[in-house]
Amino acid sequence: MKATQLLHEFGQSIWLDNITRDLLDSGTLRQYIAELAVTGLTSNPTIFDQALKSSAAYDASLRARLKQGRSGEALFFDLALEDITRAADEFRATFDRTNGVDGWVSLEVSPQLAYDTGSTIAAAKDLHQRANRPNLFIKIPGTREGLPAIEEAIFAGIPVNVTLLFSREQYLAAAEAYLRGIERRIAAGLNPAVGSVASVFISRWDVAVAGKVPAELTNRLGIAIAGRTYRAAQQLFLSPRWQRIYNAGARPQRLLWASTGTKDPKADALLYVKALAAPFTVNTMPEATLKALAGRTEIGSGMSADGGECEAVLARFATAGVDVAALAAQLQDEGAKAFVKSWQELLGVIGAKSSALGAAA
């Protein structure tokens, strides 16, 4: 049996961290769903930037939108919604079969809004309404300014994928925002079953400390952070406050492991996949990681519910001079800036293509 199916049967959802029009047009996404147990999909500005740069598949849509007078961000979201809604329709059967646990796709608000609460809320509502799909997550960063937007979006009934989380503390803040939104829905007599995942980024931790810690700690920081966060999530799910919302019809906010492609060429391509296997979680994988997993026939023992040796490992990093709290804040800030950079490059690509297609018309 393929390791993708083994991981699915272990209780972890496999989502693809990629979307391109070629992936949709060729039937490859449908093949991944049928053959590799893929049950969802995530996107981000970098993914769309690369898709537009490398393919002519968007040219016809670009021409049509240009004739309608669309440009810039508005034009991008037109194109993105075309892809995302098609992907959502591919996963709709999964969404229906699992009663909304799985089958989700994700689209991010403009990264330039990461520190603008009001505009983030408005953008989330607009994208949710335009997509008109029940299995669409709107991605909102778990920055300080993003947290109130997460609460308001959940209260408004908009499913949210909280992105750019790097630590237990950042995860708990996002979970609190989700919980407040659900509690407000319950108090208002609204249906509390609003989906959400909390995306914790893993590999960037190890990239950040590469060459700065003893060799025996190489590629161990991200996994230790994940263990600490997973243990906190298990404790949260069992707390009386959360159990009260379950009793009212709400669901837990699942943990999603993001940035799980191995960056170290000397390490196993499935380093993070095997270490982060855990029931009732999601692993969103780059396409190369998904294919590598499909070529294996075992997944290992996975993650311990109590985080295993995570605290002992983190203590060793502290001894080596790594300030985890400070690094988490740095990584979140750098992640937000990286997405803004990709966003600006994406708009540049759209502008250049628009000019070229307009001149050729």
Show which residues are catalytic: 139
What CA–CA distance (Å, rounded) separates 143 from 292? 33
What is the Cα–Cα distance from 9 to 69, expressed in whole angstroms?
Answer: 48
β strands within the chain, DSSP E: 12-17, 38-42, 105-108, 136-141, 160-165, 196-201, 254-258, 281-285
What tokens appear for 220 in the block?
Answer: 């161990």
- What the block records as the tokens of 192 is 């509390």
Pairing of strands 196-201, 105-108: unpaired
122: how many CB neighbours lie within 10 A of its CB?
15
Nearest Cα to Cα of residue 258 among 278, 284, 234: 284
Contact status, residue 103 vs residue 92, Cβ threshold 8 Å: yes
Tokens matching residue 45: 């500005």
Backbone angles phi, psi at 155, to 5 degrees: -60, -35
Residues 6 or more apart in contact with residue 144 via CB below 8 angstroms: 115
**Cα gap 301→324, rounded to integer Å:** 27
Copy the structure tokens of residue 20.
Answer: 């391109």
Among the listed residues 101, 135, 90, the one whose alpha carbon sits nearest the alpha carbon of residue 8: 101
| List of residues 6+ apart from 110 with CB closer than 8 A | 73, 123, 343
